[in-house]
Amino acid sequence: MMKQETIAVIKQHLFYETPNDEWIASLRLDERKGVQKILTQYDKQIEQHAQLEEAFKASLQFEEQWQAEGCEFIAGVDEVGRGPLAGPVTAAAAILPKNCSFPGLTDSKKLKEERRDYFHALLTEQSLAYKVVHIAADQIDEINIYEASKKAMQQAVEELGVQVDALLVDAMSLPLPLRQLSLTKGDERSASIAAASVLAKVERDRYMKQLAENYPQYGFEKNMGYGTKIHLDALERFGPTPEHRRSFSPVQQCL
């Protein structure tokens, strides 16, 4: 019976359905080279997934420690977009549910766009609370990029809609009367900060892609406002848009 199944059917069942242990055990007796090859691929995928699950579990250490001390709502906070010449700086705050599992979730910069979008969909559906805040270019010019980043992060926490017990913040302390821990490379070390990183990155990228429809010559859909050659050439040729940060040197030179 087993040998009557085609390689294509077996592959579909292994990778896209939920095979049971008995079926897999019988499959290992199939002597066809093609079957053994996809079994090797399947075993490798299972091992990689297990490693991702273990890494995610480790990234919950700060949250679990505070939960054991009585904290219920622990928010991770992160920002993206400090370096670009155009567009907002964007921050997010997120509270993950207890005993959650998002294998592979990490710093948004280390994820491909498809994976960021995948986790964004999961996080917006499953987070206990989340908030994304944009601070526009004109405000950045007024108060400087560091203060704008801090303002976006603080506002994201304040607008979560729940009374937060503690904060895990990526490389910054916020002027809020809350227990908090500033973590260097926090988006790699804390699941909650990684969640905030992904939410902020995806929302900001979508903002810039929409902006590209109004200003197609700058290539915002590809450079997200960073100073790439195409962006700098367009800036010199067409001048800054209302979305450009005039306090940043390359933009100042084109005023």
Is residue 132 a contact partner of residue 166, using CB atoms and an 8 Å limit?
no
Question: 87-100 pLDDT, tens per residue?
Answer: 999 999 999 999 99
pLDDT band at 244 (very low <50, low <70, confident <90, very high): very high
The Cα 63–Cα 190 span in angstroms is: 8
pLDDT band at 26 (very low <50, low <70, confident <90, very high): confident
Is residue 244 a contact partner of residue 208, using CB atoms and an 8 Å limit?
no
Question: 109-157 pLDDT, tens per residue?
Answer: 999 999 999 999 999 999 999 999 999 999 999 999 999 999 999 999 9
Q: Which residues pair with 63 in a beta bridge?
A: none
The Cα 200–Cα 77 span in angstroms is: 9
Question: 154-182 pLDDT, tens per residue?
Answer: 999 999 999 999 999 999 999 999 999 99
List the structure tokens of 44. Answer: 């490798």
**Can you give the pLDDT at residue 15?**
84
Query: CA 229 → CA 197, 244, 250, distances in Å?
Result: 26, 16, 12
What residue type is 97 in one-letter code?
P
pTM of the shown model:
0.90
The residue count of the chain comes to 255
Q: List the single range of 37-46, 49-58, 162-171 with lowest mean pLDDT.
A: 37-46
The Cα 173–Cα 224 span in angstroms is: 27
The average confidence (pLDDT) of the chain is 95
